[in-house]
Chain A
Amino acid sequence: MSREKLIKEIAEINRLIHEPARLAIMAALYGVQEADFLYLLNLTGLTKGNLSAHVSRLEEAGYVEVEKKFVGKKPMTLYRMTEKGRAAFRDYLKFIRQMGELGE
């Protein structure tokens, strides 16, 4: 691949997902049907504020949907990856794999 083409491909990377904290959230949600805040907190190792901010960015992009409900008397916030989010994450992983192959 030419140098120009490589630079162009790198520029096309999904920057919203490429950020490490959001990448960890996307990866955590990709493996499950739905999860709550504590689950994401444990799996990503982010702080509560950080996690909340990054999830909001992903929600704005339409990659994640949030549902607030009560389980008994306890409030629960559930996070689900949308089809758009799954497709974007799959494309991102494919791109990263291709870049890795190029680097070898």
Chain B
Amino acid sequence: MKPQEIVRKSKAMWWADGIPELVTGVTAAVLSLIVYLQNRLAGCRMCTIALTFIMMLVIYIGPRIISSIKSRTSWQKVGYSIPLKSVQWKGVRLIVGLVTLVFATLVIILWPGIWWAFMAAIPFFVFMSVWLQSGLVRFAVYSLIDGLTPILVGRFCTEHCIAIALLLMSLPLLIGGLFTVIKFNKEFGS
């Protein structure tokens, strides 16, 4: 095997078991439920604060759940690895994450009419970059589907649009993740 092929295979290994997208899909579905409840309980200030707190907690623990599941399943079969981080410093990553979160919140509050543009851009660029790095085609598919979904929902939806968009965006990840987990277990033994 050529060294470039091994590098690419190595970069793809972390994504190969389907667990990252499965957990991301579940997270998106849970966020969808939280956003829906936030809309329904808009009059209850404490409920909104509690739901926002739960939402941030879900976003925070998502990556830790991926590692936890991997340590019990795929790492025991193919070994442990952590993907290469483009930005090494934790502080920089935290600031970029917070700025993105604040920016997203501002966009949704100040220009509620274009929430879909922001929701389309994030999965599109994230999944596209995973595809470019790993060469796993299913991430290009997620990128297109999850990039188009908020645009279509934003065009036709009238009520609970963000919740609906998140729920629809979770579906390809859940389906793709489930198929990948099954395929991975067949290949490396369940």
Select which of A23, A34, A36, A37 is within 8 A of B3 by beta carbon.
A23
Q: Is B10 an interface residue (CB 8 A)?
A: yes
- Are the C-beta atoms of A38 and B79 separated by less than 8 Å? yes
Question: Contacting A24 at CB < 8 Å: which of B1, B11, B14?
Answer: B1
Chain A contact-residue range equals: 20 to 34
Q: When the two chains form their complex, are residues A32 and B82 in contact, meaning their CB atoms are under 8 A apart?
A: yes
B81 sits at the interface (CB 8 A) = yes
Q: Chain B 80-91 against A: per-residue CB contact (8 Å), 1 yes, 0 no?
A: 111111000000
CB <8 Å contact, A36 and B81: yes
In angstroms, how far is the closest chain A Cβ from the Cβ of B64?
Answer: 14
Which of A23, A32, A71, A96 sits near B10, CB closer than 8 Å? A32
Bound CA span A34–B83, Å = 8
CA distance A33 to B85 in the complex (A): 7
For the complex, is B105 an interface residue (Cβ under 8 Å from A)? no
Complex Cα distance, B114 from A89, in Å, reads: 45
In the assembled complex, the Cα of A31 lies from the Cα of B1 at a distance in Å of 15
Residue of B nearest to A81 (CB): B84
In the complex, 30 of the A-B residue pairs with CB atoms within 8 angstroms, ordered by the A residue number, are A24-B3, A24-B6, A27-B3, A27-B4, A27-B7, A28-B6, A28-B10, A29-B10, A30-B7, A31-B8, A31-B9, A31-B10, A31-B11, A32-B10, A32-B13, A32-B81, A32-B84, A33-B81, A33-B84, A34-B82, A35-B10, A36-B79, A38-B79, A41-B79, A42-B79, A43-B13, A43-B79, A44-B6, A76-B80, A78-B80
